[in-house]
Structure 1
Amino acid sequence: MAAALGRVFSALDGDDDGKISAAELRLCMKAALGEELSAEDADDLVASADADGDGLLSLEEFLSLARLETEEEAERCRGLREAFRMYEMQGQGCITPLSLKRMLGKLGSHQDIDECQAMICRFDLNGDGVLSFEEFKVMMDA
């Protein structure tokens, strides 16, 4: 993983000075992902891992930031997995309209089965009538 991140670092380091500036980060985000990163967000991201306070990310700082992001994503995934287990029915590995109805009822939101089917249908990417964990993650990000 470190080798791959080293290649990403090199790609982000547009002026080849061994450091990534907030401007380089913004430029690469736009070019690679087509996403705008505000100057403020780029500055905040760099500052969050800038251990030496020079306003730039060295390779070591970049790797530290990547590890932190990976750990945060893993923690988020664990939380989503726990939430998913609350909604799934008896370890079936999916959320059915009936299991959704039961959990919503426990939470005080009483929906009929047709409403639960409609809620699931909105995020049921493969059309099988239930939500897998991956589909649940998409729903939670919406």
Structure 2
Amino acid sequence: MCLLKTNDLHRIFQELDRNGDGLLSAVELNWLLESIGGVHFSLEELESSVGKSCLNFDEFLLFYDSITKQSGGGNSEAVVADDQEGCNREDCDLVKAFQVFDSNGDGFISIEELQSMLSRLGLWDETTGKDCRSMICRYDTNLDGVLDFEEFKKMMLHTSS
């Protein structure tokens, strides 16, 4: 399992910090856990497991580290093995992200899948619906109406085809 980079985690932190106070409240953190993993905690349970009611960015990094270690992601031997298999950290993170967006597991990201994930993350609403179509069209180099992994990678890295 490849771990997210600090700059990726910082972007996630900023997106989750909806009120912009530089802290993730238990409510904001709980929203993330419910949105991406369907994990349901009461706020009291979450505060108890985290140890406080709000996390600054450094504390969020520690929380992330503890989660990845519990799931086996903190094993440096696993990261080395991934690198030896041709999965550098950036590519591995992109593969994981691609898998999250490809909700039906068909190996492609459709407009609907992109819209669904952005909506779950709170980054899409009805007024911006055409943006999902234009994002896919911009990076869909073979014009099949969906993004394969390489097209997704170019989109995420903002490189031209």
Question: Into which bin does the TM-score normalised by the smaller protein fall?
Answer: 0.3 to 0.5
Structure with higher Rg: it is: 1
TM score, norm. by length of structure 2: 0.41
- Highest relative contact order (Cα 8 Å, sep 6+), 1 or 2? 2
TM score, norm. by length of structure 1: 0.47
